[in-house]
């Protein structure tokens, strides 16, 4: 059942002994929303903990906080989790047992008993912020840092269209009312990369391929490259933006070799191309400017399929 902000606030008042679930490949939004919610529930005198299907990368460590230790769950909340599949190894335990979902994805699959989704919100952290406002509970500085990080992450540091007036207003309030380490968070989230990551970026830039008169750029991250550069899968986060940095590119394609003969593809549109339509035709989906799909075959077969699909879309522009 879909519910409004006020009803979600009511759920938080009623609940006890809460497990908060966040998604695999954890990012600043789900970690920020998860730990802001945990600290909110603590402030309300409740036990709560955050569960993530994968270890939370060290770069998000500043968002985490001590939980309430061991206790059995009486109430389960998914935050920023649009689909049960994103729960990875937690899925089997919690499928059918999620009481509340707080999210901002238009694609939310309504797997929870109660679902509070605002597709116009920039981030799950923004939806959570509105719920906290409805509760009238003051934020702490550390909750403010969590909320800020989520909004900054999902707006690409306020670069995307989803950095709405409301998102900016919330951030203005957070800056006004809290000691928010704004520049430090932005530097750590958006500028700092591990040496391995930088080497990997250099390597994929060197093998970047150009198709369709440079309107389509492709990079392919094979298992070999990952091994050579000694980078974790988690460090590939955001790499799909690289092919779009080249001037004149309309569609950027990133292939990741998951296993021999199996590729996960991320597609990004610089402006006008609808990559959701391209990926939809290939069995995937997503947003107009960011979408994905998975393909099997040899690398050259997969590339051929992708270039033809992109060509069809570009012909429509």
Joined together, the tokens standing for residue 115 give 């679902």
Q: How far is CA 127 from the centre of its chain?
A: 15
With binding defined as CB under 5 A, does residue 130 bind Mn ion?
no
Residues 214-253 vs Mn ion: string with x where CB under 5 A? ----------------------------------------
Name the residue among 270, 258, 166, 246 with its Cα closest to residue 220: 258
Q: Report how many helices (DSSP H) and strands (DSSP E) the chain contains, helices first.
A: 11, 11
Q: What is the dihedral sign for C-alpha 25, 27, 33, 34?
A: positive
H or E stretch including 254?
strand 251-259
> Is the separation of the CB atoms in 178 and 205 below 8 Å?
no
With binding defined as CB under 5 A, does residue 103 bind Mn ion?
no
Closest separation between CB of residue 3 and Mn ion, Å? 19
- Indicate the residue among 80 and 235 with the shorter CB distance to Mn ion: 80
- Indicate the residue among 216 and 291 with the shorter CB distance to Mn ion: 291
Closest separation between CB of residue 85 and Mn ion, Å? 15
H or E stretch including 102?
strand 100-103
Joined together, the tokens standing for residue 151 give 């909004």
Q: Which stretch binds Mn ion (CB under 5 A): 70-78, 115-123, 157-165, 200-208?
A: 115-123
- Indicate the residue among 123 and 225 with the shorter CB distance to Mn ion: 123
Closest separation between CB of residue 80 and Mn ion, Å? 4
Residues 151-190 vs Mn ion: string with x where CB under 5 A? ---x------------------------------------
Closest separation between CB of residue 150 and Mn ion, Å? 7
For residues 262 and 274, what is the distance between their CA atoms, to the nearest angstrom?
24
Q: Which residue number has the CB closest to Mn ion?
A: 29
Closest separation between CB of residue 122 and Mn ion, Å? 8
CA quadruple 298, 301, 307, 312: dihedral, nearest 10 = -130
Q: What pairs with residue 254 in β-bridges? A: 219, 266
Q: Which stretch binds Mn ion (CB under 5 A): 40-48, 77-85, 168-176, 226-234?
A: 77-85
Q: The sheet that has 262-269: what strands, in order across it? A: 209-211, 216-221, 251-259, 262-269, 290-296, 285-286
| Binding residues with Mn ion: total (CB under 5 A) | 5
Closest separation between CB of residue 153 and Mn ion, Å? 7
For residues 126 and 35, what is the distance between their CA atoms, to the nearest angstrom?
14
For residues 265 and 287, what is the distance between their CA atoms, to the nearest angstrom?
14
Closest separation between CB of residue 290 and Mn ion, Å? 12
- Indicate the residue among 147 and 255 with the shorter CB distance to Mn ion: 147
Applying CB under 5 A, among 23, 29, 114, 131 the residue interacting with Mn ion is 29
With binding defined as CB under 5 A, does residue 80 bind Mn ion?
yes
- Indicate the residue among 29 and 257 with the shorter CB distance to Mn ion: 29
Binding site for Mn ion (CB under 5 A): 29, 80, 123-124, 154
């Amino acid at each position: 059942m879909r519910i409004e902000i006020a009803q979600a606030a009511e759920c938080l008042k009623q609940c006890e002994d809460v497990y908060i679930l966040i998604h695999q490949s954890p990012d600043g939004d789900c970690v920020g929303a998860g730990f802001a919610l945990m600290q909110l529930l603590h402030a309300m005198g409740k036990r709560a903990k955050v569960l993530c299907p994968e270890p939370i990368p060290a770069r998000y460590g500043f968002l985490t906080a001590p939980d309430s230790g061991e206790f059995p769950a009486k109430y389960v909340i998914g935050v920023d989790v649009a689909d049960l599949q994103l729960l990875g190894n937690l899925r089997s335990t919690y499928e059918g047992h999620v009481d509340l979902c707080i999210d901002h994805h238009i694609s939310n699959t309504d797997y929870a008993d109660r679902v509070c989704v605002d597709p116009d919100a920039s981030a799950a952290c923004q939806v959570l912020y509105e719920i906290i406002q409805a509760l009238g509970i003051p934020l702490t500085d550390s909750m403010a840092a969590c909320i800020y990080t989520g909004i900054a992450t999902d707006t690409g540091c306020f670069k995307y269209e989803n950095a709405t007036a409301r998102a900016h207003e919330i951030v203005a309030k957070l800056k006004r009312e809290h000691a928010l380490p704004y520049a430090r968070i932005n530097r750590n989230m958006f500028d700092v990369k591990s040496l391995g990551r930088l080497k990997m970026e250099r390597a994929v830039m060197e093998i970047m391929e150009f198709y369709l008169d440079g309107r389509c750029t492709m990079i392919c991250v094979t298992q070999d490259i990952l091994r050579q550069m000694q980078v974790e899968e988690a460090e590939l986060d955001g790499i799909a933006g690289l092919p779009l940095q080249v001037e004149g590119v309309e569609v950027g394609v990133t292939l990741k070799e998951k296993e021999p003969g199996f590729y996960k593809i991320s597609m990004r549109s610089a402006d006008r191309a609808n990559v959701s339509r391209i990926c939809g035709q290939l069995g995937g989906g997503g947003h107009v400017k960011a979408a994905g799909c998975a393909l099997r075959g040899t690398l050259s077969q997969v590339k051929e399929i992708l270039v033809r699909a992109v060509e069809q879309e570009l012909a429509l522009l």
